[in-house]
Amino acid sequence: MSTTVTVLVVYLGILAALAIWSRRETHTLSGFYLAGKKLPYWVVAFSTNATGESGWLLLGLSGMGYAVGMQAYWVVVGEIAGIALSWWLISRRLKRLGDETDSITVPDVLAAKFTDKWHLVRGAAVLIIVVMVTTYVTAQMVSSGKAFSSFLGMEYETGVIVGGIFIIAYTFVGGYKAVSYTDVVQGVLMLLGLIAVPAAAIYASGGISEVRSSLAYQDPALLDMFAFSNMPAWIGIASFVAIGLPFLGVPQLLIRYMSARDDGEIRKARIMSVIVLLIFTFGAVTAGVAGRALFPGLEDSETIFPVISSNLFPPIIAGLLLVVVLSAIMSTVDSLLLLASSAVVRDTYQKIMGSTDSDAVLSNYGKVLTVAIGIIALLLGIQEPRVIFHFVLASWSGLGSAFGPVIIGILYYKRVTWAGVLSGMLGGFIVSVAWLAWFKADYHGLYEAIPGFIAGMALTFGVSWLTSRKNTRRSM
């Protein structure tokens, strides 16, 4: 057994132990989906970051640094701004509202303030979550296939299957508590890897000046943050910075805020989260930029992180770095599986269909659905959508555009109505998807979350204002 495989087996053993330790919390819906709302700040902080970044960070974002050079640092700016705004504007108010309304899911929060006898708000939220999460998880399965293939020489399809089985298994056994504590282990590994790999790449290149010389020789535009060759610079910058915009609304992160023990834990978690995310994103882009100097001409830029790891480190460290990549993937997939499962069991079966089954029965249904959704994504991942970066961004922007504006409306606008929430959610989602499908290419690649978020905000606040005025007149 190779050293890399040995390291991998030990890592998976640790995850299995955490899943078994967490089983006691999985016998109720709140326990299975929110760990009983008892998590300390350091778990919430690392879980938020690890969940938000995924295989996109280590493979997609490092690949972007490799492909476009210094321009990729605009993504770092956008992500730090986005996560900071999410923590300071959303987290504490959402936690308070979630506790007051006994909410377990984001659709719970959206529906809590309104009388919606047809469950339109909740139903639309469930539909968007299931569609986008399936796409998102598929992208992570692709990441696992690339990781196993690059590090172990395993067939791509085999890598997808092996990675998918482990992720589905420990999520099924341990629920949200296992997911959150494994996120801490995975987040720490990601942090160490994103310090070690770019540092090693810069050192092997002969220092920062040699990296710059190599990039200048290949293409001077790689050193210019404003050199967007295929679009106006302002569109390129706005699009890269706007990648941080969905932090305000993606449900897999909002759930983290709701799972915190109390408001004091959130206050401490937000500082740690922003610092760690800065290291994550800056390290990933720098690894790609320095990797371009060392290994020019890669056929697939999204393999640069494993290429650096395999070539510059001894086998045991390379094994650990494979674990780092898998950590990024797993820390997102497990959370997304729970998100989709909760949308079906809690929001559809219990709330919309009115099931009176006990919590224990419902949590068992949740476990079965977690496995089913994971298998669907695994089968789709075998088909290999090749570009992780853009595949993940489509899902990220769809979720952010659907839920970001309506969450802001519910938390900050006293006159928000169910009609405003429904139209804002659907409008933001539809505009984001439509822009990606039909308009993006004609507008120099403007990132779809920008028009999606604008449409969602306009509809949430505009329709709420109109319907609240109408209701006011009726009551006079």
Is position 131 within any domain?
yes
Helix ranges (DSSP H) in 301-413: 304-312, 315-342, 359-381, 388-412
Contact 170, 158 (CB under 8 A): no
Is position 217 within any domain?
yes
Mean pLDDT of 122-131: 90
CATH of the domain at 340: 1.20.1730.10
Mean pLDDT of 195-199: 93
Contact 206, 294 (CB under 8 A): no
Look over the chain and give the mean of its residue pLDDT values, rounded to a whole number: 84
Contact 396, 246 (CB under 8 A): yes
**pLDDT given for residue 32 in this prediction:** 67
Is position 327 within any domain?
yes
Residue 412, CB-side half-sphere exposure with 13 Å CA sphere = 14
**Number of residues written out for the chain:** 476
CA angle 201/388/188 to nearest 5° reads 55
Domain that holds residue 132: 3-387
Most confident segment among 15-19, 231-235, 292-296, 374-378: 292-296
Instruction: Dump the DSSP string for 246-282.
Output: GGGT-HHHHHHHHTBSSHHHHHHHHHHHHHHHHHHHH
For the chain, give the longest Cα–Cα distance: 79
Q: How far apart are CA 44 and CA 184, in angstroms?
A: 9
**pLDDT given for residue 199 in this prediction:** 95
The token pair that represents 93 in the structure block: 């108010």
The token pair that represents 53 in the structure block: 């970044």
The token pair that represents 284 in the structure block: 């990933």
* Greater pLDDT, 66 or 373: 66
* Residue at 432: amino acid letter: S
Residue pLDDT, tens place only, 340-393: 888 888 888 888 888 888 777 877 787 788 788 888 877 877 765 554 556 666
The domain total for the chain is 1
Is position 331 within any domain?
yes
Report CA 185 to chain centroid distance, whole Å.
Answer: 17
CA angle 103/23/166 to nearest 5° reads 100
Is position 474 within any domain?
no
Mean pLDDT of 211-238: 88
Report CA 344 to chain centroid distance, whole Å.
Answer: 20
Contact 90, 300 (CB under 8 A): no
* Residue at 175: amino acid letter: G
**pLDDT given for residue 335 in this prediction:** 75
* Residue at 173: amino acid letter: V
Residue 39, helix vs strand vs coil: strand
The token pair that represents 104 in the structure block: 């377990």
Residue 96, helix vs strand vs coil: helix
* Greater pLDDT, 332 or 415: 415
Is position 92 within any domain?
yes
**pLDDT given for residue 320 in this prediction:** 80
**pLDDT given for residue 275 in this prediction:** 94
Cβ atoms within 10 A of the Cβ of 470, count?
Answer: 11
Most confident segment among 222-236, 300-314, 412-426: 412-426
Q: What secondary structure letter does DSSP report for 230? A: T
Q: How far apart are CA 363 and CA 341, in angstroms?
A: 10
Place of tokens 């319907």: 467
pLDDT at 475 > cutoff 50: no
**pLDDT given for residue 27 in this prediction:** 59
Q: How far apart are CA 380 and CA 142, in angstroms?
A: 9
**pLDDT given for residue 203 in this prediction:** 94
Element (H, E) at 43: helix 41-55
**pLDDT given for residue 30 in this prediction:** 67
* Greater pLDDT, 159 or 73: 73
Beta bridge partners of residue 260, listed in sequence order: 39
The token pair that represents 154 in the structure block: 């395993």
Is position 433 within any domain?
no
- List the beta strands (DSSP E) in 127-219: none
Q: How far apart are CA 157 and CA 159, in angstroms?
A: 5
pLDDT category of residue 1 using cuts at 50, 70 and 90: very low
State the Cα torsion 85-272-255-23 to the nearest 10°: 180
**pLDDT given for residue 464 in this prediction:** 94
Q: Using alpha carbons, select from 61, 98, 97, 103 the residue that is nearest to residue 78.
A: 61
Helix ranges (DSSP H) in 62-155: 62-68, 73-85, 92-100, 106-112, 120-152
Within 8 A by CB and 6+ apart from 212, the residues are: 223
Is position 106 within any domain?
yes
**pLDDT given for residue 39 in this prediction:** 86
pLDDT category of residue 329 using cuts at 50, 70 and 90: confident
